[in-house]
A = this chain, B = another copy of it.
Amino acid sequence: MTGEQARGRPRSEEARRAILNAALEIAAEEGYSALTIEGIAARAGVGKQTIYRWWPTKADVLLDAGAAKAELRVPLGDHGSYAADLRAFLTASYKMANDAALSDLLRALMAEAQLNPVFGERFRRDFLERRRDALGVIVDRARQRGDLPSRPARGVVLDLVFGTIWYRVLATRRRLDKALVDDLVAVLTDGA
Contacts and interface: CB of A to CB of B under 8 A. Distances in A.
Interface in A146-192: 149, 151-153, 156, 159-160, 162-168, 170-173, 179-180, 183-184, 186-188, 190-191
A46 interface: no
Contacts of A108: 114-115
Contact of A110 (B114, B151, B179, B186): B114
B167 A171 contact: no
Interface in A103-124: 107-108, 110-116, 124
Interface residues of A, number: 40
A137 interface: no
Contact of A186 (B107, B151, B183, B184): B151
Main secondary structure of the interface of A (DSSP, over half): helix
B33 A152 contact: no
Given A156-B164, A160-B187, A163-B164, 13 more contacts: A32-B114, A32-B115, A33-B115, A151-B183, A151-B186, A151-B191, A152-B183, A156-B183, A159-B164, A159-B168, A162-B171, A166-B167, A166-B171
Q: Which 3 A-B residue pairings sit nearest by Cβ, starting from the closest?
A: A163-B167, A152-B183, A163-B163
